[in-house]
Amino acid sequence: MLTKKTVLLRVKLLRNEGKRKRRILRNLFLFSLFLVLLGVRFWILPTLSQEKERVSFRERNLHKRVETLAYRTESVGRLKADIGAEISSLKEHNSWLMVSDTAEDTRTVPWDTSLFRDIPFLTSYVDSLHGEFATIAQAISEGNNIFSDIPVIKPLPDSVRFYQTKSFGTYKSHFDHREQMHNGVDYTAPVGAPVIATAGGVVRERGEDSFWGKYVRIRHSQGVETFYAHLDEIFVRRGQRVSKGHRIGALGETGYSVGPHVHYEVRIQGTPVDPEAYMVSYE
């Protein structure tokens, strides 16, 4: 028969066991979260940074090759013009073939073959230019494919006058004045201004709620997603494939908003990152 003291001891042991299990689960959760943050800091962010540098280097290299090709093409054009002028001069002076008025006096002047000594070189040169064109066209195509899947532009076109009103990081809420985390960047512009996709991808979600208002979420390659909120209108459907610069909606002030703006986020494997860290300025 169990005594009161035994029952109380068992209850105490059960409570201690429950506390110990909760403490273990909490520590496991914190350790897992630490590993995730460690992976984002030392693997995902450096990888994207290296990819950005590699793309920028390839773009500069392509520009140099295009300039070299343009110069060589111009040289071929000048050489062609010189050959044409030489041929015209030879025809005018009748130096290729001289024929008298009578058949008996007909005589042939030997051909001047010096003009045609460079023909094999020119043929080889033109063939090499064709090869250069094909190589550069392929490189440009690959470069465009790389850039099209990376969100390196702003969600509003250059033709729209807009201002950045809030950056990525902590801020004080306008409503309860508490410090909160802002997982994106805010841009203000007139209501109805076009909001564009910052990279090619597929519309994963479009919807509306009391906080974000009307919003669109686009899935890109390499686990990257972009998010656009507080829209006035949405012009895309779920599952639709969009390209960089595609108009996906109109800027508004729906949801939890103090004025017309678009809230823009970039997430990598579900983790929000600073969108401005991946924006490239084109000049």
**Secondary structure of 14-46 as H, E, C letters:** HHHHHHHHHHHHHHHHHHHHHHHHHHHHHHHHH
Residue 250 CA to its chain's centroid (Å)? 21
> Residue 283: its pLDDT value, please?
38
For range 146-157, the mean pLDDT: 82
Total-model pTM:
0.50
Q: Where are the domains of the chain?
A: 60-148, 163-278
> Residue 87: its pLDDT value, please?
66
pLDDT band, residue 242 (cuts 50/70/90): very high
CA–CA separation, 269 and 137 (whole Å): 33
Instruction: Say whether pLDDT at 95 is over 80.
Output: no
Amino acid present at 204: R
CA–CA separation, 201 and 225 (whole Å): 9
- In angstroms, what CA-CA distances link 283 with 36, 140, 197, 246, 280? 37, 17, 20, 21, 10
For range 165-186, the mean pLDDT: 83
CATH of domain 163-278: 2.70.70.10
CA–CA separation, 24 and 192 (whole Å): 52
Q: Provide the percentage of residues in the chain whose pLDDT is more than 90.
A: 32
